[in-house]
Structure 1
């Protein structure tokens, strides 16, 4: 019963916080919508702030799982690790349709409660990509003149920007709500990115 009540509060809070923002959602609105006693938020989360943090942690959990799965397999090359992570991003956004909103809200208007959580997760993603890119350069997979910091930031943007700006993008493009649009975009965008950073084979030298 306790697990059901806690899960229900997180589910209701996820939609309200994502659509209205943290400050605009009251404890009363949360409990009325969830049809739960007002004391439940304090009991399970120590207040609205704790509930918001629980929502963000739950939203970002699949990203950390994707990072771990890519990092733990020592047999994967840097390209394969990045590819594995990129392949999972579209699925994560599909499973968490409000994730991009939380990203956008906390990046542009960070709260004292959600900001540290977002920063922690972005830091881990950044370090994972940065490390993979540096290893790829050392192995000769990626271009030697690659600015690793810029390349990392570019990849984060490529994999997440579409989902953060999806309503606007769909308004001015041919993108629709088709089942595989997100995964197809992610796959193609990542292939284009890899083409730009991959070390190209020598075609011949002047005599």
Structure 2
């Protein structure tokens, strides 16, 4: 039973990511999963509910649970600079790692650009929780007197950088010469964004200073692939 449900969820996630909710038919989903067309109603109660489950399966890519849980559990003992660096790392590793199915990234990007009524409440709450947790980290980093709207702009800039690389993968493959690809592993991008944000906020940190003087081990971390080899096809 769980195997059938899992096959349906995988097939639906792939087709919803490729075609969107409206153009992915229940029959096509069941054909890809190799199950009877009635299985969607039996296991999920309908196509709309199946779509919600597919988005829920992909959504954890955009919530670095460990960082936020650590901050919530013991905020005074957490270095906010390290929390911010960890946030950037986890976001990118989840979205660009070798073990991340590409359909999850595509589906979340679709939902961000063109939200569906089916997932509106869940997705909005999910994104809001993520964003407010990031704001909580920034509250401890930005200088006193920074206007509230600037904090939001800084947070949006961080999220934008973290989501751009996985979203624009094919475009970046055209832009970046082959000779430079080894400098675009996940680790290189993590370090670049972290350094960029810290510089913008006039922050200093020993681990960032070390990165700036030696990035020779970037490509060795978990044997990470260069840009264009980041996510699994399914």
TM-score, with normalisation over the residues of structure 1? 0.83
User: What count of residue pairs does the alignment treat as equivalent?
Assistant: 195
Q: Which residue of 1 aligns with 2:187?
A: 183
* C-alpha contact (below 8 Å) 1:103/1:118 kept by paired residues: no
Among 95, 102, 109, the alignment partner of 1:97 is 102
Matches within 5 A, 1:26-105: 26-64=25-63, 65-72=65-72, 74=74, 75-93=77-95, 94=97, 95-105=100-110
Asked if structure 1 preserves the Cα contact closer than 8 Å seen for 2:13 and 2:104, the reply is no
Query: Runs ≥4 in structure 1, deviation > 6 angstroms?
Result: 175-180
Decide whether aligned partners of structure 1 residues 171 and 116 sit closer, same or farther in structure 2, where only a CA change above 3 A counts: farther
Pair 44,71 (structure 1): closer, same or farther in 2 beyond 3 Å: farther
**With CA pairs under 8 Å and 6+ residues apart, which has the higher RCO, 1 or 2?**
2
Shift of 1:61: 2.4
Aligned mate of 1:197, from 198, 201, 213? 201
1:153-203 deviation line (CA, Å, top 9, x unaligned): 111101111111111121112378879723321221122111111347xxx
Q: Which residue of 2 aligns with 1:203?
A: none
Summarize deviations over 1:100-156 as a string: whole Å, max 9, x none: 32233122222111333332221111101111111223xxxx575472111111111
- State the alpha-carbon separation in 1 of the partners of residues 134 and 119 from structure 2: 23
Equivalent residues of 1:100, 1:163 under 8 A apart: yes
In structure 2, runs of 5+ residues without a counterpart are 205-234
TM-score, L = length of structure 2: 0.74
- Supply the distance in 1 between the matched residues of 2:56 and 2:198 (Cα, whole angstroms): 30
Q: Aligned in 2, Cα 1:183/1:120: closer, same or farther, shift over 3 Å? A: farther
RMSD: 2.5
Shift of 1:49: 0.7
Does residue 184 of structure 2 align to residue 161 of structure 1? no
